[in-house]
Amino acid sequence: MEAKKVLLAEDDMNLGKVLSTVLTGKGFEVKHANNGEAAFELFCTHEFDICLIDVMMPIKDGFTLAQEIRKLDKKIPIIFLTAKTMQEDMIKGLSIGGDDYITKPFTMEILLARMQALLRRTGVQEEPESHIVNIGNIQFDRKRQVLIVNGEEQKMTSREAALLDMLYEQRNDVLYRSYALKKIWGEDSFYNSRNMDVYITRLRKLLKSEPTTTAAAFSDAEPLPKRPYNSLYCAFIAAMFSSSSVMRRSSFSSLSVLKSCWMSSVTTGASMMRLGREM
């Protein structure tokens, strides 16, 4: 049986070492970070089954870390470990996506029991999702990495398929540009960022049979509108070509925007694109 992977975010190095040692001895695979920023970096570059998060940490506190993790993964169990015993803190932790809240000091028996309970609950097998999904009038075979357009198959590269698959998985939600880069390219660097732009262009060409939508460009100084977009891909393309690292919330409808988008100053990423159908 494969070891369950634990993300431990704890700024107390002594406690972190004790927890890591005990959990490893119980068969878990633990990665420890001593601040919220480092923990989020680990989450973006590794796969985890459960998160143990201290609330009061430097650089980025546990509540903020949990919110960022929850934006990327709706299902992973999150347990807060904290000395904060106020009822308001407990309510806040649970309301932002935490599954459990353990106050310090605690025993390892209690922690292990609650971890196992959450892992059993989230480990229930769900109905498997079809590996063939419909995107407008195009079918995407995620397993074979193939687009099916009007009955004809178009083979995709591994990264093209991974990028498209990530967009599909994050539909109706926020997707971080840095998260996509780290998951697919392994590093959020300038070179990889430009490389991703190339893959977006390739996806536009592959999906050119989808009906086009309206495209409009905005300068860097103009703020993005507060209302959500109709397409996740509008937000994704916008973030690809902007200096902002966070994509706006939007709803998944069609990949046709990949065809319709256009930009200026590609090499500097100076333009912000707003794409999508009229709401």
Q: The whole model's pTM is what?
A: 0.55
CATH topology (fold) of 132-275:
Arc Repressor Mutant, subunit A (1.10.10)
> Going along the chain, which residue ranges are E strands?
5-9, 29-33, 50-54, 78-82, 100-103, 132-135, 138-141, 146-149, 152-155, 215-218, 272-275
Please provide the average confidence, as pLDDT, over all residues in the chain: 74
Parse the chain into domains and list their residue ranges: 5-122, 132-275
Tokens for 200, please give them: 């977006």
- For residue 220, name the pLDDT band (cuts at 50, 70, 90): very low
**Answer CATH for 5-122 from 3.40.50.150, 2.60.120.10, 3.40.50.2300, 3.20.20.80:** 3.40.50.2300
Burial class (CB in 10 A: 0-12, 13-18, 19+), 82: buried
* Radius of gyration of the CA atoms of the chain, in A: 21
Min mean pLDDT across 99-103, 151-155, 160-164, 227-231 is at 227-231
